[in-house]
């Protein structure tokens, strides 16, 4: 799908690490154009380039640096039907402001955890559950607001989820035990004190285990007639912080609904394809799931940046001595597990027609 004109968007919390990733991803996006950025009181009223401490790789785009930082309030001048905002707000601020934006008619694509498990809010990963956008009209009716909220999953959940989806579809999924090795960038900036993480592994990330045990049940659930039924699977998780800058690695053992050989499991991963609409999304990687046959892959340093940090890199599928099958999966936590995930969610909403691109905003969708 080709858009004759770009869709204006805003970024809430644009000065933080995830906000900077949104700026980086959207500065030259084929569908979206940044027209508004918001930030903390310290930065409001200043050019973005003066207010931000730029920490992501690459240069701050000059045309974005000139934008004046606005307060995070639902009166941003963003044309659209509905107007789009990407939220990189911290959890507390997101809980306060995102419903106000939805009530004011904005489409909110959020990286925050505040509403991931809220009724009628899609917890969305386009490769996993693109049909869950069917919750959007139910959300609008239930909360009586003209806009909507779409959440992306936690970065640790994201690292494990796509192989779980593949195995659920191919063989049936009954249970999983997950251990994650999570990069320090997931803690934001300035992050973890160097003396806490150097020469160390920290076996605690606040709230992370429960997110890993709850979010997949929603992601792998089914939506029928606008109602979501959670997947009936048993999950156990242990999250760990490790001294790696970017890239979350998950070791996952699964109990399947029937006996499956290692060859069958690998074939299911290699043969899997996303829904047809996925091909219309401009940020979608050519290979959303890449299986590596080497015995020592995936590795964060070698694999996290493949295809702009968007695919799942999966390997080491073996028989599990306790359950059935074990695998390793890697994703880039600040891209696929954060900002890039929200951008893909917005692209999906456009492709599915939840964001109007017709005469009301001077945009026309043209088949590619």
Q: Which residues are catalytic?
A: 155, 248
Tokens encoding 184:
């320090």
Task: Answer whether 344's CB lies under 8 Å from 126's CB.
Answer: yes
Tokens encoding 269:
């991963």
Strand ranges of the sheet holding 7-12, from the earlier edge strand across to the other edge: 69-70, 32-38, 7-12, 84-87, 107-110, 148-151
Task: Answer whether 305's CB lies under 8 Å from 289's CB.
Answer: no
Helix axes 262-271, 155-171, angle to 10 degrees: 110
Max alpha carbon distance in the chain (Å)? 61
309 Ramachandran zone, left/alpha/beta (phi>0; psi -120 to 50): left
- The Cβ-side half-sphere exposure at 11, using a 13 Å CA radius, reads 30
How far apart (Å, rounded) are the C-alpha atoms in residues 168 and 223?
A: 16
β-pair type (325-331, 248-256): antiparallel
Please report which residue ranges of 2-134 form alpha helices under DSSP H: 17-26, 48-51, 62-65, 91-103
Task: Answer whether 246's CB lies under 8 Å from 173's CB.
Answer: no
H or E stretch including 350? helix 340-351
CA quadruple 330, 333, 338, 339: dihedral sign:
negative
CA quadruple 73, 77, 80, 86: dihedral sign:
negative
Residue with tokens 């997949």: 216
Identify the CA nearest to 76 among candidates 110, 100, 48: 100
């Amino acid at each position: 799908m080709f858009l004759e004109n770009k869709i204006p968007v805003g970024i809430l919390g644009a000065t933080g690490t995830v906000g900077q990733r949104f700026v980086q991803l959207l500065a030259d996006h084929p569908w979206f154009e940044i027209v508004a950025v918001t930030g903390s009181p310290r930065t409001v009223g200043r050019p973005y380039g003066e207010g931000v401490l730029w920490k992501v790789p690459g240069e701050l785009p000059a045309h974005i640096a000139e934008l004046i930082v606005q307060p995070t309030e639902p009166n941003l001048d963003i044309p659209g039907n509905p107007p789009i905002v990407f939220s990189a707000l911290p959890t507390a601020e997101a809980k306060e402001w995102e419903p106000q934006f939805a009530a004011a008619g904005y489409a909110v694509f959020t990286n925050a955890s505040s509403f991931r498990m809220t009724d009628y809010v899609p917890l969305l990963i386009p490769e996993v559950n693109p049909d869950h956008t069917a919750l959007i009209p139910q959300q609008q009716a239930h909360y009586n607001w003209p806009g909507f909220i779409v959440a992306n999953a936690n970065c640790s959940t994201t690292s494990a989820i796509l192989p779980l989806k593949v195995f659920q579809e191919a063989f049936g999924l009954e249970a999983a035990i997950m251990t994650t090795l999570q990069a320090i960038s997931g803690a934001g900036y300035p992050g973890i004190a160097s003396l806490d993480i150097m020469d160390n592994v920290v076996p605690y990330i606040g709230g992370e285990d429960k997110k890993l045990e709850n979010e997949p049940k929603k992601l792998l659930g089914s939506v029928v007639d606008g109602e979501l039924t959670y997947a009936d699977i048993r999950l156990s998780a242990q999250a760990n912080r490790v001294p790696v800058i970017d890239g979350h690695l998950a070791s996952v053992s699964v109990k399947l609904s029937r006996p499956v050989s290692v060859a069958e499991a690998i074939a299911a991963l290699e043969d899997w394809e996303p829904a047809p609409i996925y091909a219309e999304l401009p940020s979608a990687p050519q290979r959303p799931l890449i299986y590596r046959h080497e015995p020592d892959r995936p590795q964060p340093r070698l694999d996290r940046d493949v295809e702009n940090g968007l695919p799942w890199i999966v390997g080491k599928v073996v028989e599990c001595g306790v359950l059935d099958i074990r695998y390793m999966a890697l994703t880039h936590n600040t891209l696929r597990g954060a900002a890039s995930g929200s951008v893909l969610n917005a692209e999906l909403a456009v492709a599915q027609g939840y964001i109007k691109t017709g005469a009301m905003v001077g945009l026309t969708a043209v088949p590619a």
